[in-house]
Amino acid sequence: MPIYEYVCRDCNVEFEALIRSDELPICESCGSGSLDKLLSVPAAHGGGTTEFPPCSEMPPQERPCGTGGCGLPDCG
């Protein structure tokens, strides 16, 4: 079961939810089902540095958002 990040369109609260494939998430704060799924950058485990290079230094196919313009620092 993946954990997704959402923002409620009604009360603007951001939260994470563990969602099964047959479940629909609801806002933890107001109970609304009017949600937007947020872009999440996957966690990576490696033996090297713990910092990622700025998006502007990464090839487009390796950027977390794929194309740039995602709002991460130095993206695009």
Domain membership of residue 69 (yes or no) is yes
Domain membership of residue 47 (yes or no) is no
Query: How confident is the model at residue 69, as a pLDDT?
Result: 55
Q: What is the pLDDT of residues 26-75, one digit of tens each?
A: 998 999 999 998 876 666 555 555 566 666 676 766 766 655 556 555 55
Question: Which value, to the nearest 10 degrees, does the dihedral of the CA atoms of residues 13, 72, 38, 6 take?
Answer: -20
Domain membership of residue 46 (yes or no) is no
Domain membership of residue 24 (yes or no) is yes
Domain membership of residue 16 (yes or no) is yes
| Between 27 and 1, residue with greater pLDDT | 27
**How many distinct structural domains can be found in the chain?**
1
Query: How confident is the model at residue 70, as a pLDDT?
Result: 60
Range(s) of the domain holding residue 21:
1-40+52-76
Domain membership of residue 45 (yes or no) is no
The model's pTM is 0.51
Domain membership of residue 65 (yes or no) is yes
Domain membership of residue 28 (yes or no) is yes
| Between 48 and 19, residue with greater pLDDT | 19
